[in-house]
Chain A
Amino acid sequence: MTDTQTRGRIVVQLIPGLASLRKRGLAGWFAVIGLAMVFVVVLMTATAPWISPHDPNEIGTGPVLGPPSLSFPLGTNHLGQDMLSRLIWGGSTMLQVAALSVLVCFIVGVPVGLLTSYAGGLVDRSASLAMDSIYAFPGLVLAIAIAAMLGPGVVNMSLSIAVVYVPSYYRIVRSQVLSIKELPYVEAARTLGASGRSTLLRYILPNVLPSVVAVATVNFADAILTAAGLTFVGLGLPISTPDWGWDLTYGRRLLPSGAWWVITFPGLMIVILALGFAFVGEGLSELLNPKLEQ
């Protein structure tokens, strides 16, 4: 079987796994609820062009700082923009940034982790040291620093978040590889004459992936929060993009004047999305553990 086929197989195995979620008790419920939450938010964001009642950017759609009413269920902000429309559109950037950052983390963290920890010795030590240094930084601070350097934009935001989280992926891959490396079946592969590449790809990687997937989903939640944090601080996105993070910033400032609706709803959405991914991650990490077969 070629490596593509192996990867295909892995994905295919995950899908029936999802189907049997219901049967797995509490962990299954967590995953299902989480998935539902995420799905609702993603659906909302994806259908934004159709379901959004107003243009989220149009200034003066409604009254300035209008409280929730029939015509504007979630109220309006200081620019008269409809909060509901902003809510519906606002998730899109957030999801894009989070998704992109997770992708980058995967593409960088997993191979580096695999190769360096399999190689061992000095290579492993150096990589570990580098990753630990990044890991030691408080996440948001580092993201801010990098975002400030890179400038605004979805891609740049994703990159700054990715840098912060790559060590998490690296670490889980490394700890898994170190323990799997010593297992009899890896030794068996070596006795059969497997090359290092084959051993890594066919024997170690498939057994490492489930944990990485679990970390990735929880990481998604983290990434969303960090992305919100970045826009909250004013970095990352141009002001014309509707984004929950912006609404949080302005909502905060508007709070003293009594306009509670500006900050509340976007904040709630962020929490729901982050929680949703966290639930999925928790549920998945339990489910993908083959020992649960008991």
Chain B
Amino acid sequence: MLTATDLKKYFPVERGFLDKMLTSHKRFVHAVDGISFSMSRGDILGLVGESGSGKSTTAKLCLKLVEPTSGQIAFEGTDLTALHGEELRRFRRNIQLIFQDPTASLSPRIRVGDAIRHALSFQGVGTPAQQVQRTREMLERVGLTPWSNFYDRYPHQLSGGQRQRVVIARALVLNPKFVIADEPIAMVDVSVRAQILELMLELKKEFDLTYLFITHDLAMANYVCRSIAIMYLGKILEMGPKEEVFGNPLHPYTLALLSSIPVPDPKAKLERMIPKGEIPSPIKPPEGCRFHPRCPYAQEICSEHEPQLEEIRTGHRAACFFPRM
């Protein structure tokens, strides 16, 4: 359904006046640096990574909210890079986004019902009366019943969880086939998160959706996703079915991530493999394997050559010269 091929996005770094005068050397943030993946219909892929990994930028690329520096994205055969203007606007019906911050992604001066209805009116779907009807149905579908209690409310009158449901309703009212969820529960209370996730899974069944989850929360990704791709500094380091990636991790970074998550069980034995240092700047990523300066298993070759994403086990790929088998 969605195929990304060698996708790259570099953002130019703002240079001071003197810099511009004295040097011609431009600097770039290598937000996404050559990633390739594909998703089939009905998939739930979790794009997991820490800050600077490029996962949010990847989401924006898939929606064409930013233009790729190079590479291609194809959705059901259509090359996204070739779409512009009005065509692109119409195309937006197919891929929608659920935002991270439910408060910031709703205009404080637009009533919740209208915010959802706008999606339909922007795309010219149905008559105004039909749009209102569909919005009401959608509100109920996401659990905001009765719709009359919610349609005319402003975002600040709803709880965080309710706001996120409005965002979901808005994203799904156009019947998109593909939904990208960017940290959909990060800003929702802990005790309500599972409810939002269950809602998303139910809606997936009902509307036959395909999900791309962007998150740094491995436990959440484990709960909800079918396949996982681990990103670091603009590259995908490991990719495969969830059970494989989390059950038999190959890449040392994946191991590090897994051993770092806090486990809500005081009796759990933790074998920590915490890499030293911090994530380097994406402006000047390390040579060779991006993770090598922090990797406890790094060898000389890791600093000289960059490992490619290769299939190590069936369906399970890793970009490492010395995968942990």
Contacts and interface: CB of A to CB of B under 8 A. Distances in A.
Interface in A168-206: 183-195, 198, 202-203, 206
A206 B110 contact: yes
A57 interface: no
A290 interface: yes
Contacts of B107: 185-186, 189, 202-203, 206-207
A139 B205 CA distance: 65
A207 B104 CA distance: 13
A179 to B, nearest CB: 12
B105 A193 contact: no
Contacts of B118: 189, 192, 194, 198, 202
B317 interface: no
Interface in B103-124: 104-110, 114, 118-119, 122-123
B99 interface: yes
Nearest to A194: B122
Contacts of B119: 192-193
B245 interface: no
Interface string B45-67: 00000000000000000010100
A75 B234 CA distance: 82
Range of interface residues on A (Cβ < 8 Å): 20 to 34
A227 B295 CA distance: 73
B96 interface: yes
A207 B109 contact: yes
A20 to B, nearest CB: 15
Contacts of A193: 89-90, 92-93, 119, 122-123
B156 interface: yes
Given A185-B104, A202-B118, A290-B156, A191 B109 contact: no
A94 B100 CA distance: 52
A282 B106 CA distance: 27
- Most chain B beta-carbon neighbours within 10 Å: one of A1, A184, A191: A191
B97 interface: yes
- Most chain B beta-carbon neighbours within 10 Å: one of A184, A186, A194, A203: A184
Contact of A188 (B89, B90, B99, B174): B99
A202 B99 contact: no
B170 interface: yes
A205 to B, nearest CB: 9
A192 B105 contact: no
Contacts of A293: 156
- Most chain B beta-carbon neighbours within 10 Å: one of A193, A202, A207: A193
B224 to A, nearest CB: 21
Given A191-B65, A191-B92, A185 B106 contact: yes
Describe B's contact surface by its main secondary structure. Answer: loop
A188 B104 CA distance: 10
Given A184-B104, A192-B119, A202 B110 contact: yes
Nearest to B90: A193
A274 to B, nearest CB: 31
A86 B24 CA distance: 69
Contact of B170 (A187, A192, A207): A192
A13 B108 CA distance: 13
Nearest to A1: B114
A155 B142 CA distance: 56
A5 to B, nearest CB: 10
Nearest to A183: B104
B105 A188 contact: yes
A230 to B, nearest CB: 38
B101 interface: yes
A194 B121 CA distance: 9
Contacts of B65: 187, 190-191
Contacts of A183: 104
Nearest to B123: A193
Given A184-B105, A191-B92, A193-B90, A198 B99 contact: no
A13 B156 CA distance: 15
Contact of A191 (B63, B100, B108, B114): B63
Nearest to A186: B107
- Most chain A beta-carbon neighbours within 10 Å: one of B104, B109, B118: B109
B182 to A, nearest CB: 10
Nearest to B109: A206
A192 B92 contact: yes
Contact of A195 (B97, B104, B122, B170): B122
A203 B170 CA distance: 15
Nearest to B102: A184
Contact of B97 (A1, A191, A202, A207): A191
15 contacts: A184-B100, A184-B105, A185-B105, A185-B106, A187-B105, A188-B97, A188-B105, A188-B106, A192-B119, A193-B119, A194-B118, A194-B122, A198-B122, A203-B107, A206-B107
Given A183-B104, A193-B90, 5 more contacts: A1-B114, A185-B107, A193-B89, A193-B123, A202-B110
